[in-house]
Structure 1
Amino acid sequence: MNRPLVLMTVLYGLGVFLASHFRLYGDHLFLSAGAALIVASIAYFAARKAAPVLILALFTALGVAVTGLTVDRTEAPLGAWENTAVILEGMVVRDADVRPDRVVYILAVHEVRKGNEVMHPDGRVVVSHRETDAVYGYGDLLRVRGVLRTPVSPGNPGEFDYRAYLERQGVAFKMDVFGPGAIERIGVDRGHYPVYLALTAKERLSAGLERALEPDAAALVRGITMGVRGGIAPETREAFTVTGVVHILSVSGLHVGFLVGLVLFFTRLGRLNPRWTLVVVLAVLAFYAVMVGFKPSVIRASVMALLLLAAHQMGRLRDWPTALALAAMVILLGNPLSLYDPGFQLSFTATWGILYLGPVIVRGLDKLAAGWRLSWWSPAAGWFLAVPLAAQLGTLPLIAYYYNLISPVSLLANVVTVPLVGLIFVLGFITALLGAFLPAAAWLTGPATGVLIDLFLALVKFFAGLKGAYYYVPTPSLLLVGSWYLACWGLGFFAGPTPWRERWPGAAALVGGSGRRTLGMLGVGFFLVFAFLIWPTEPTGRNHIEVHFLDVGQGDCTLIRTGTGAAVLIDAGGWRGELAGESGAGEKVVVPYLRRLGVREINVLVITHPHDDHAGGVRAVAEKLKVLNVVVAPDGGREEPNPAYRTLIEELKQSDIPIIQVWAGDRLQVDRQTVLKVLAPAFPLLSGTRSDLNNNSVVLRLDHGARSFLFAGDVEQEAQARLTLGQDVRADVLKVPHHGSGVFVPDFFQAVKPSVAVITVGRANPFGHPHPRTLEALRELGAEVYRTDLDGAVIIRTDGNFLKIETGREREDLKPAA
């Protein structure tokens, strides 16, 4: 109760969290909020002693109500025309997100038409426009023709939830449109004039940077000053990520600090009255927040900076927990769903780490320096090291949870590069201003900015190239994340500046011993938590195996994990153009999925046949993970593989990865307990069929105890008929061939007699997969059918007797596609 605002914010956040479990709709929200207000009012006047508790409980109810209203406002009433072709008119409410292959807009909807029906709803829609050269800005009124859809929830456990991401921005529907005629500009509405000015200024500054700097340097300066990542090369972004300095490209408290410092420098230089200084700082921070898009980290840093300046001016004590709570309350009142935003969580845990653990680290460093008799050491030097270290302690488990990454080099990288970033931030803004308004004078700062960018980029790439600079780790459990923060709290409590025995006398008898012993125990605790974070996970029990059928869209990818930790990957998915080198399923789906599980090494990677949707993701897997062996089908048949597939195989050979061709009758020994039997292709290879490449797929059988799995590639009628001749193909689990196409032999399904059939297929694919005849044939055999387009990833665990099946998506939550 000493910090009521902290308690109110925590309880409000609890209400936001509970709203996802106890969803209220429409009038019920107002009724519940009104009832809570009435109870609190009665308690205040009739039961004064209980009033504080009941009033605080009101904040929990408020969190539930505001969250429910936010979600309702996002979803209704456009849902009535979901999966329907419509003509939509609306205003662009943010600057366009320009990407190499598309431009993304967020529109505030004014009108929606379907035939003769017209609707005037409130709401927002994200529009992704491909194949266009035109880019529209804030205030442009657009007419868009396309199909209104709800983003699909992620199919693979732990995958980025684009649907939830859009919901946090007040968007529930999307439209993907193609061609220049799909979007038409019908007018201009400046909307909120301050927003128009801020975003116009952002466009002018971006254009100024492009005039003054080389394209790569301009892209980086835009990222550092305005948080715009478009134009930054993927390999550069990855170097920033793995070295722990990616926050430099996402506008955060660091950037707000630079900006406040710059403003204070000029106000003090002009000897401005302190009260007017506060007004100027407020105006600049508000303008900057609008310009970069009201990111939670910017709002948090701005609120705390203003409170700090106001407290300094009034001579009041600066209470950082209250300031931090107020910043959180401001953000969550505006958008309660920000609670689930990784940026929100990372910003507040980093700040908490600096303010709570920073003094402990400085104190420890001061004692260490005194013990080593370092006369030159000062508290300022301690804070120089403590700030990045404390921030990392505060964010480490969340970074491992969301990004599966731990970067031991991050501390050194931040210590070295952050001072350089301050110079780039200041010079970058000056260069942008000169380039925008006085292009002829941009030479005054442009070359210096370019040199600093080159030096900065060289340092980042140097740190990224160090051995052991970063590790990908399995996703830690929420219990482990909570334990980490409990340990951090304990470290600050027991080793803080104020003796903990004075703050908590009752605990002294429980802990006992010296302070050194307590700190030693905490140190051991930190080490154990860190060890758990980086330790690779394995299936439960050495006699267990896991088979993961990944959701990679229209393609195949299956992971087998054995009880000893060995991993077999059968195909790696593939999207259009991926086999030729474009980014796709391998980089965006398969590799992240493997990293979340803690898979660092692939014992056997099987390419069942050389089609894009099976082999396209192999390159990314081989580049990002260690692959020990690659198994392929023999060459043959009349149908020639894509030349890009030949290039892929040559690249694998150049990487010294053994390429093994297999025939029916071969056996792949994965570990002592796991053997894969090759059932196809048999000699001679099939030739002149509807698809020789499909029919000569590698077909594998895995037996584990009394259970068996059959992975049938894309074999069609000829190969299916051949498989049933003279060999046992019975299996409990069948990976249905060729995505459940209608080209099948009924005798093949009858010979396999699966109790579980898994169809790897893309949602709303143009091939009509799976075919209704295939589904009917499987169900007539009594097979339980799972589909990755509906169920997401299908994960089957077995100890050799029982099958346990999990799916990545709740099927009832997915509405049918048009």
Structure 2
Amino acid sequence: MSNLMNAIGTDLLLPGAENGTGSMSQTDEQPDRSVGHPHDSTVRPNSGQASQAAALCAEKGRSLASARAGGILPAVPIAACFALGILADRWTTLPAEFWIVASFVGWAAWVMVWRTGRLRPAAVLLCFSCLCLGAAQDHRTWFLVRRDDIALFASEQSSPAIIEAVVVSQPQVHTLRSDGRLREWPPPVRSICVVECQALRSGKDRRPVSGRARLQTFGRLSNLQMGDEIIIYGHFRRPRGPSNPGEFDFRRYLRRQRIHCLIWADSPEAVRSTGERQDRMLARLRSHAREVCQAGLRRYLSPRGLPVAKALLLGDRTGITEEVRKAFVESGTMHLLAISGLHVGILAMFLWSLARLLRLPPSGLAALVLAGVGVYAFVTDARPPVLRATILIAITVAVFPCYRRVLSANSLAVAALILLFRNPSDLFEPGAQLSFVAVIALLWSARRFRRRDQTGGPDLDWQWGGWLRQVLQPCLRWLRRGYAMSTAVWLFSAPLVAGYFNVVCPVGLIINVLLIPIVVLTLWFGFGLIASITALPSLAPVFGFGFDRLLGVLLDVVALASTWRLGHLYIPDIPVWWGLGFYVLLAGLVASGRSRQITWITTRGLAAWLVFGLWTGLQPSSPQSLRCTFLDVGHGCAVLVETPGGRTLLYDVGTLHNPHRATKLVEGALWSSGRSCVDLLILSHSDSDHYNGAPELFGDVPVGKLVLTRSFLQLDQEGVNDVCQAAASHGVRVELVWAGDRIRLDRNVVGTVLHPAPDFVGEHDNANSLVVLIEFAGRRILLCGDIDGNGLDALLRQPPRTIDVLMAPHHGSKRSNRPELAGWARPRLLVVSGDDRHTRKMLIDAYGPS
């Protein structure tokens, strides 16, 4: 079994032969039948045949050794050139016709040159044609759409429509914050699925269309299955790009999935099923299989373990709460919630063990593993990491009955080629990148251990013997190798994780290896539960009980690790140039092979590059002048002020929608500007759309001081109480202010509190809004919160001021934006924090067209 264990642990390193007719090397766990035994009745070859066989084995061994030493891995340069072609297409404006013609010319030239026996020029032409082929495939999938694509009939403004479509992905139900305290709207449950558009109807007109769209509605689309034909009564538009610095590019994310349109329906009743497509039977089979698995999980698992079980086994993370997701991120174990090569490998181990238990022959073992892994990839929608691992396992297991060796780097390149040809945008997907980088790290570290074993490297020095040595020595050797491989994976992937998710988790180095036995047992019980649900229902309670208990242990360990001090650290964005430099040096290290000189140069270069990156990252990032960013959070408020001295002020952090989104938008703006903390957080008043993102912000970003008014501290409101408890638990100082107080933000930046006065009593929360005037270099910015009523009257009784930038109070409402305020402030620029575009005309009437 050690062969497949190596294949799984280091992504498919099996002994055997790369070419030829399946001769075995000395490392194979097969009996040597060329040596006689008195009691062996096996028919043996004569001496001439034995010598020929030995010569053949020696020749194949030399070929394999030279392949490894000389780097004869034909799929590696082909895959690299295909990926370079994708990059070339994204970075240039060349048309698809150019890449197609160049690819055909390259192929034709390669055939002619190869037939003449000139291998080096032929190899160059082959690589060139693969590069052009990659560019052509990327251009076809990224830049081109059909002329009747539904996105061509949409704009970035929502328009009503009646759309005929076919469901192509199982509707997923998302639940927003189950506590309901800090979110006011929209409803807590929504359903999302992908549909293939068929027709666009307007009155009696019916226009055939094509293309994929993302359908969303509030409520549960529990009656829909993959392959259903539906009619949608709703609105559609194109996805919008990011409107804030550092914001996640949702439009690009959808485009990578070839989705160019969004459809909204107000309720599930606005989505009507009209039948099912007979040509979508495979999709319906996948949907039915997932439903059966989910029903079994719901029956045998507790509410705490059910969402994690669905994520571990089926890749469905819709039930994972933000608190659990964050615990996995901060403990460095987020990869467990995303189905990857680890899960597929553990499944292959499970099937291998089952086959050995049933004493299946090599062909039966290979068939069982291939069938099981293939079905699992089908049920889990064949995401890139799953498909990569499935291809590698298929290559390895398919040749296992022939006892042939698989060169893992070559197999990995083949998997990359298949993935990139299927969808070139996978080259830019974080999951696919992390998957391949982790496998490369495992292969590299396994090669080093194999070399150490061959050269007789140092081993553990034991001062005792007997049974204790027999027990502890394998365990400690496994721990040593496990931590070495885990460290390699962590080091190889840390820049990618930090670049995409702005977090570094040293605690993952400690617990990931220790969690391997727990994760293996957990998944084995989970796979056993899924299998027993359909085949042996009497065993399902046993597997369900064990699976649920192991999930509880896993969740407890993850929750504990996420709370360790210095176990994780949120950091600003990593410069792209630094990340590229790191991976160029890392590629040199991996490709150095046995060359000690290249290894010495690349290791020293990596160390110097890391020190240089830390030095530049620790330098304070400060704008040359005051920078004020009004973040687009929808109906809410978040204003980020960065001073020339490097200090940061945040005025409010909340939204009427999901508070998690407000927090992430603020963090993205901070990190994209090179900031890692908030020196001063001002919460204007106790409406939740102005503060509901604060509790999560305290946990992610260091906050120096929280500034409030006395009227904010209405502790009978649960949301306000949450803010105060979160501030206290994270050591944030709280300061109460009122009119006349001055807030020194920087040497040349001063904030003055204009409202409320110490003795002021507002008629409601909005009237108590904290109004701050920020002054720098003769310029003034006025932040008003939601001030209205008698609070606005009190503000207008103060001496008039000329304001350069005015944030329209109360999201631009008519009651708060009276002509008197326009005359009192005379703003040069008016900013509205809200998503109601119908207020524009009213504001122009109040403040004037300029």
Query: Normalized against structure 2, the TM-score is what?
Result: 0.79
Alignment pair present for 1:697 and 2:779: no
Per-residue CA distance 1:254-305 (angstroms, 9 max, x = gap): 1111122222233344454534544443333222112111110011111122
User: 3-state DSSP class of the match of 2:753?
Assistant: strand
CA distance in 1, matches of 2:656, 2:254: 24
Q: Secondary structure at the match of 2:637?
A: coil
Are the counterparts in 1 of residues 196 and 211 from structure 2 also a CA contact under 8 Å?
Answer: yes
Gaps spanning 5+ residues in structure 1: where?
Answer: 508-514, 781-818
Counterpart position of 1:405: 503
Which residues in structure 2 correspond to 1:729-740 (within 5 Å)?
729-740=801-812
Partner of 1:224: 312
Distance of aligned partners of 1:590 and 1:428 in 2 relative to their CA distance in 1, 3 Å threshold: same
2:366 is aligned with 1:291 = no
Higher-Rg member (1/2): 2
**Conserved? CA contact 1:594–1:600, under 8 Å:** yes
Letter aligned with residue 741 of structure 2: D
- Structure-to-structure mapping, 1:294-373, within 5 angstroms: 294-314=382-402, 316-360=404-448, 370=458, 373=461
Does residue 845 of structure 2 align to residue 770 of structure 1? no
* Gaps in structure 2 of 5+ consecutive residues: 1-70, 176-188, 464-472
Name the CA distance, whole Å, in 1 between partners of 2:636 and 2:139.
Answer: 38
**Partner-residue secondary structure (3-state), 1:298:** helix
How big is the shift at 1:361?
A: 6.9
Tell me if 1:79 matches 2:79. Answer: no
The one-letter amino acid of 2:693's match is G
1:10 to 80, 92, 97: 80
Equivalent in 63, 76, 79 of residue 134 of structure 2: 63
Q: CA distance change for structure 1 residues 35 and 482 in 2, over 3 Å: closer, same or farther?
A: closer
- Structure 2 Cα separation of the partners of residues 362 and 760 of structure 1: 61
The offset of 1:438, in angstroms, is 4.7
- Deviation for aligned residue 1:650: 5.4
Q: Which segment drifts farther, 557-566 or 476-485?
A: 557-566
Deviation at 1:29, TM superposition (A): 2.6
**Match status 1:561 vs 2:638:** no
Partner of 1:20, secondary structure, is helix
How big is each residue's C-alpha offset from its partner over 1:732-766, in whole Å with a ceiling of 9 and x where there is no partner? Answer: 4443444345553557556656555443332xx3x
2:633 aligned partner: 552
Aligned to 1:805: none
Once the 2 structures are TM-superposed, how far is the Cα of residue 165 of structure 1 from its aligned partner? 2.1
Distance 1:323 1:29, change over 3 A: same
Shift of the alpha carbon at 1:77? 1.8
Aligned to 2:691: 615
**Does 137-146 or 259-268 show the bigger shift?**
259-268
The alignment partner of 2:461 has SS state of coil
Q: Give the equivalent residue in structure 1 for 2:490.
A: 392
The answer to which structure, 1 or 2, has the higher relative contact order (CA under 8 A, 6+ apart) is 2
Instruction: Tell me, in whole angstroms, the C-alpha distance in 1 between the residues paired with 2:612 and 2:278.
Output: 52
Counterpart of 2:294 in structure 1 is 206
Whether 1:678 and 2:753 are equivalent positions in the alignment is yes
Letter aligned with residue 528 of structure 1? V
Distance between the aligned counterparts of 1:379 and 1:643, measured in 2? 56
CA deviation string 1:320-353 (max 9, x = no partner): 3322221111011111111221111111111111
Q: 1:53 — aligned with what? A: 124
Question: Is 1:540 the counterpart of 2:610 in the alignment?
Answer: no
2:17 matched residue in structure 1? none
Deviation digits for residues 689-747 of structure 1, max 9, x if unmatched?
Answer: xxx64454322222333544332334459877865766473344443444345553557
SS across alignment from 1:573: strand
Native 8 Å contact 2:479 2:513 kept in 1? no
Secondary structure in 1 aligned to 2:653?
coil
How much has 1:126 moved relative to structure 2?
1.6
Identity of aligned residues (%): 26
Deviations 1:615-651 (A, max 9, x none): 2323332344444433234549xxx999456545654
Rounded Cα–Cα distance in structure 2 between residues aligned with 1:699 and 1:283: 66
One-letter amino acid of the structure 2 residue matched with residue 414 of structure 1 = N
User: Which amino acid in 1 is paired with 2:752?
Assistant: K
- Could you tell me which residue of structure 2 aligns to residue 262 of structure 1? 350
- When structure 1 is superposed on structure 2, of 455-464 and 736-745 the one drifting more is 736-745
Q: What's the CA shift for 1:671?
A: 4.8
- The Cα of 1:364 is off from its aligned counterpart by 8.1
AA aligned to 2:164 is: E
The equivalent of 1:500 in structure 2 is 596
Residues of 2 paired with 1:364 and 1:757: CA distance?
68
Asked whether the 8 Å contact 2:571–2:671 carries over to 1, the reply is yes
2:738 match: 663
- Asked if residue 521 in structure 1 is aligned to residue 604 in structure 2, the reply is yes
Pairs within 5 Å for 1:795-814 = none
Deviates more, 1:342-351 or 1:207-216: 207-216
2:604 aligned with 1:531? no
Change (3 A) 1:520 1:4: closer
Segment drifting more, 627-636 vs 720-729: 720-729
2:785 aligned residue: 713
Aligned counterpart in structure 2 of residue 467 of structure 1, from 535, 554, 565: 565
CA RMSD for the aligned pairs?
Answer: 3.7
Structure 2: which amino acid aligns with 1:761?
Answer: G
Give the letter aligned to residue 620 of structure 1.
E
How far did residue 407 of structure 1 move? 0.8
- 1:41 maps to 108
Aligned mates of 1:387, 1:86 — CA distance in 2: 54
Report the Cα offset of residue 159 of structure 1: 2.3
Q: 1:313 to 1:230 in 2, by over 3 A?
A: same
Are residues 159 and 35 of structure 1, via their aligned partners in 2, closer, same or farther at CA, if it must alter by over 3 Å?
Answer: same
Shift of 1:395: 1.1
Does the aligned pair in 2 maintain the 1:70–1:335 contact within 8 Å?
yes
Structure 1 pair 133/56, CA: closer, same or farther in 2 (3 Å)? Answer: closer
Q: Which amino acid aligns with 2:655?
A: G
What does the per-residue CA deviation read over 1:399-426, in whole Å, with 9 as the maximum and x for residues that have no partner? 1011111111102211011221111111
Structure 2 CA distance for aligned equivalents of residues 464 and 365 of structure 1: 37
Aligned to 2:543: 445
The letter for the 2-side match of 1:540 is S
Conserved 8 A contact 1:208-1:433 = no
Match of 1:799 in 2: none
**Aligned equivalents of 2:250, 2:297: Cα separation in 1:** 31
Instruction: Single out whichever of 388-397 and 181-190 deviates more from structure 2.
Output: 181-190
Q: Contact 1:490–1:522 (CA<8 Å) still a contact in 2?
A: no
Equivalent position SS for 1:293: coil
Indicate the residue corresponding to 1:19 in structure 2: 89
Letter in 2 for 1:680: H
3-state DSSP class of the match of 1:142? strand
Moved over 6 A (4+): 46-49, 361-369, 717-722
Find the aligned partners of 1:486 and 1:676 in 2 and give their Cα distance: 47
CA distance in 2, matches of 1:159, 1:299: 29
- What amino acid sits opposite 1:19 in the alignment? D
Q: How many residue pairs align between the two structures? A: 746
Give me the TM-score of the superposition, normalised by structure 1.
0.81
Pair 90,437 (structure 1): closer, same or farther in 2 beyond 3 Å: farther
Shift of 1:222: 2.4
